[in-house]
Structure 1
């Protein structure tokens, strides 16, 4: 059984409760995890609050914080194979993705923010009063509750942990109950790196745990990645004491394929943009606006490329698409497929559960989709590709911006001036031109509208995890 990590010690939940985590490729139990209750949440927040003021952390030089984060990156790389296999078994993503994207991306984030530790600075500002000095300083926000999703549990934990700790905060980390194992191992490595007790705390449990953290008076900030519905609930739960919030929420990213696009290149990029991690990506390209003159060609080639992908267990080296996370989620994806058929979309390939004991679904392509269909409007979070034709390039911005989401978008054209004009008009936090969506520690990430509040990664993450204080001094005689 995996336990909780509170105040530098591992142990069970206060009431001894546990829950099972499953291998989605086999639909079998991997292990039992401690399931936290209110008493455990309170202990973790109390430990984080005490560590925030403890000189062992509060007075640790910035360069020493940097060395701790750098050590975590080294340990992640030393244990790369173990972490990748844990991620694949618990989440289902192909082992090649875990080895080549997830684990390197985790180490990259710790190294990038290690570099920021010694560069968090204030400024001296000229003021209008004589004989007066004014300067600013950046200080930690305080105790941060970090709530991570199940689709990339290890890497997204690093997105939040690394900047929070670089800025001198303490944290209570809550991974998704479906995929806690790689995060548990990461915290073990962070303990080995030498973080003082209470700086990093780990709670494993379900939605009630996140709600308890959001409502706890000892938490200063929440950083959450997950669905828009849960994000809204956290806003309400945290409103009483006006906690700082960073929310990275749902998406329904449009991909625009212009008449002059290289269709073969667009297909190669969009099949990955749509189906990476079996479409369980908040930035997945999930509605495809194609110039009507090229729509048939694009659709047939997309269907052929999707149908050629091998669906299977993530540990099989030949697998391109792993399982969905759970039976419940598979049924949700299938319901969207049934809805599209009912609404009159034309099924080109896929459209049903794939063979195997786990939660596998065929990559699915629809043609003749309209903007009013649910499959074109709602986040499916699975391997479903709806193709929508357009006639006038001027109409496409309004259609792309027509949903509540605004996380990511993609544009495929050989005319870069057109691409950049479109990018300026599309309401999305990230626009990718002639490429798939990629994360990078140095770049900003976050959404417009119902896709979130605030930004993660890059320099903007320092803003998210610090408070700015102004200090005034009168230099004349008193």
Structure 2
């Protein structure tokens, strides 16, 4: 399983197709800095082939997907979920090798959750009101129909490659769309496992096409004339560029972008429970989590106590081999990502923040792109590390003097994706949560709910994924005005 894996084809039109270019990409293991695989890199012509196959799957006379009932689509999705579930160990281990995700969470994040999302949307497809008759104010009736948006271009990053892909693929399949999925090159090997599962599930040719690529492939997909909608998860700068193209083309787009979320620790918080919960929302997946609470706001009355506990927690997290079940923090995805994180750590030093944990590379781990879990104290709102998304295991701590100031600090950001409130008074915590301008927020934890909308405000994105709202994003509405 851990040998070098080479792929020479793309998954297009229900089978393997040779690339139309010669460029390849070598996938490097995050913990070993050694090559673990090689894949072809999609160019514009490959994207065109995939988009053409997707269009054919929807428009060709006699194509099975457009005529399938919602129940038949749901059956196919459940077979797809079963095929993914059967490969859970393979998905988990492969993604851990690719991007450094600790193996203790990787099978759940890359197989169990993806299968659950598919099953959720399969169930929704069976019960969704695809058509309804509404009485008209003229005394007649209007038939309101919900139909698939068409061909979907889905572009996903490397941090949660399977979950983020299925958050687009599952509602698109439930709606009756066809998809061109462009995975990130850093985690392209696991995309071929997804193709295997799709083929085993018997998805009709062209309904799901998988073409790993870089900037050229992404730009070609976003602007392709045969694509009807874009679903994107990634950085805010990339999201802005995609939004500009989609705006010019009047093409619907869902964007789930960056974050710089706040953890508000109220003065009545149970410190032991807070410290127990923080690793899962501040250092989860080595800090490579878009909704992570990476700004901790602590009451001035308990600032020293909370800071000491948070710093001790970070220093005590086990850093090491992502394939070791005891590892809490593995390496980040690449040398470039580590350099970026280290640049932010240097910025924290130069702007006067006080380092209380980590800040360097862990001793004894000479290979792999490791960064120590890091905590900065006395971080002011004007500091770079308070304002910009670091996307690594770095937590910044800022004091506040009142609930109003805590809310103001939480909202003092161009982002608005996640967040948490920590308190022993659920009613008070909920009241604070309501005041934070963010797409999602948890009280005494953060548990992503497949049945509820997920997404961001402002620089954190447009639109929502998950829940019935995630299905609506892949539908078009048609009103049929019936005669009296």
Return the TM-score normalized by structure 2: 0.96
> Counterparts of 1:337 and 1:18 in 2: how far apart (Å)?
33
Q: Where does 1:379-390 land on structure 2 (aligned, <5 Å)? A: 379-390=389-400
**Could you tell me which residue of structure 1 aligns to residue 242 of structure 2?**
234
Q: Is 2:45 the partner of 1:39?
A: yes
Larger displacement relative to structure 2 (240-249 or 164-173): 240-249
**Could you tell me which residue of structure 2 aligns to residue 317 of structure 1?**
325
Q: Is 2:435 the partner of 1:425?
A: yes
> Counterparts of 1:12 and 1:324 in 2: how far apart (Å)?
32
**Could you tell me which residue of structure 2 aligns to residue 30 of structure 1?**
36
Summarize deviations over 1:4-60 as a string: whole Å, max 9, x none. 111122133202221111111111111111111111111111110110124311101
Specify the SS of the correspondent of 1:469.
Answer: strand
1:158 Cα shift?
1.2
> Counterparts of 1:78 and 1:116 in 2: how far apart (Å)?
23
**Could you tell me which residue of structure 2 aligns to residue 223 of structure 1?**
231
Q: Where does 1:20-419 land on structure 2 (aligned, <5 Å)? A: 20-54=26-60, 55-121=63-129, 122-130=131-139, 132-354=140-362, 355-419=365-429
Aligned pair count reads 473
Kindly indicate whether the alpha-carbon contact (under 8 Å) linking 1:217 and 1:241 is maintained by their aligned counterparts in 2. Answer: no
1:385 Cα shift?
0.9
> Counterparts of 1:190 and 1:13 in 2: how far apart (Å)?
20
1:74 Cα shift?
1.0
1:432 Cα shift?
0.3
Specify the SS of the correspondent of 2:209.
Answer: strand
> Counterparts of 2:64 and 2:306 in 1: how far apart (Å)?
59
> Counterparts of 1:306 and 1:289 in 2: how far apart (Å)?
16
> Counterparts of 1:44 and 1:379 in 2: how far apart (Å)?
33
Kindly indicate whether the alpha-carbon contact (under 8 Å) linking 1:223 and 1:247 is maintained by their aligned counterparts in 2. Answer: yes
Specify the SS of the correspondent of 2:328.
Answer: coil
Kindly indicate whether the alpha-carbon contact (under 8 Å) linking 1:120 and 1:167 is maintained by their aligned counterparts in 2. Answer: no
> Counterparts of 2:14 and 2:22 in 1: how far apart (Å)?
19
1:151 Cα shift?
0.4
Instruction: List, as ranges, runs of 4+ consecutive aligned residues in structure 1 with deviation greater than 3 Å.
Output: none
1:82 Cα shift?
1.3
Structure 2 residues without counterparts, runs of 5 or longer:
1-5
> Counterparts of 1:211 and 1:231 in 2: how far apart (Å)?
12
Give me the CA root mean square deviation: 1.2
Larger displacement relative to structure 2 (379-388 or 261-270): 261-270
2:467 to 434, 458, 461: 458
Q: Is 2:17 the partner of 1:8?
A: no
> Counterparts of 1:64 and 1:394 in 2: how far apart (Å)?
52
1:443 Cα shift?
1.9
Specify the SS of the correspondent of 1:394.
Answer: helix
Specify the SS of the correspondent of 1:125.
Answer: strand
Kindly indicate whether the alpha-carbon contact (under 8 Å) linking 1:271 and 1:302 is maintained by their aligned counterparts in 2. Answer: no
**Could you tell me which residue of structure 1 aligns to residue 3 of structure 2?**
none
1:102 Cα shift?
3.0
> Counterparts of 1:451 and 1:113 in 2: how far apart (Å)?
24
Structure 1 residues without counterparts, runs of 5 or longer:
none
Specify the SS of the correspondent of 1:178.
Answer: helix
> Counterparts of 1:419 and 1:311 in 2: how far apart (Å)?
32
Kindly indicate whether the alpha-carbon contact (under 8 Å) linking 1:21 and 1:31 is maintained by their aligned counterparts in 2. Answer: yes
**Could you tell me which residue of structure 2 aligns to residue 17 of structure 1?**
23
Kindly indicate whether the alpha-carbon contact (under 8 Å) linking 1:365 and 1:387 is maintained by their aligned counterparts in 2. Answer: yes
Summarize deviations over 1:345-375 as a string: whole Å, max 9, x none. 1111100122331100000011111111111
1:232 Cα shift?
0.3
1:417 Cα shift?
2.4
Kindly indicate whether the alpha-carbon contact (under 8 Å) linking 1:214 and 1:237 is maintained by their aligned counterparts in 2. Answer: yes
